[in-house]
Amino acid sequence: MSERSLTILFVVPRATALPPEERRAQILDAADPLLRQYGRNVSTRQIAQAAEVAEGTIFRVFDSKADLINHTVVRSLSAERTVEQLQHIDTDLELEDKLVQITMVLQQRLRETFELLHALGPPADATEEDRKQFGQYMTEQNQLVTAAVARLIDSDQDKLLLTSDQTVQLLATVTLTVSHPMIARTQGVSHLSDDPEALVDLILHGALVDSARTTQRFDHRAADPSPLDLSACPATP
Model confidence pLDDT, tens digit, residues 89-126: 999 999 999 999 999 999 999 999 999 999 998 888 88
Q: How many domains does the chain have?
A: 2
Determine the residue type at 137.
Answer: Y
**Residue 62: which CATH number?**
1.10.357.10
- Torsion angle (degrees, nearest 10) of CA 82, 88, 89, 93: 170
- Tens digit of each residue's pLDDT (9 = 90 or more) over 132-160: 999 999 999 999 999 999 999 999 999 99
Q: What is the pLDDT of residue 219?
A: 61
Sign of the torsion formed by the C-alpha atoms of 12, 18, 22 and 23: positive
Residues 36 and 132 in one domain: no
* Range of the structural domain that residue 37 is part of: 17-76
Residue 71 has pLDDT above 50, yes or no: yes
Same domain, 108 and 139: yes
Is residue 110 domain-shared with residue 215, that is, in the same domain? yes
Reported confidence tier of residue 233, pLDDT bands at 50, 70, 90: very low
**pLDDT tens, residue by residue, 182-195:** 888 888 888 888 89
Say yes or no: 50 and 86 in one domain: no
Q: Which of 28, 61, 76 finishes a domain?
A: 76
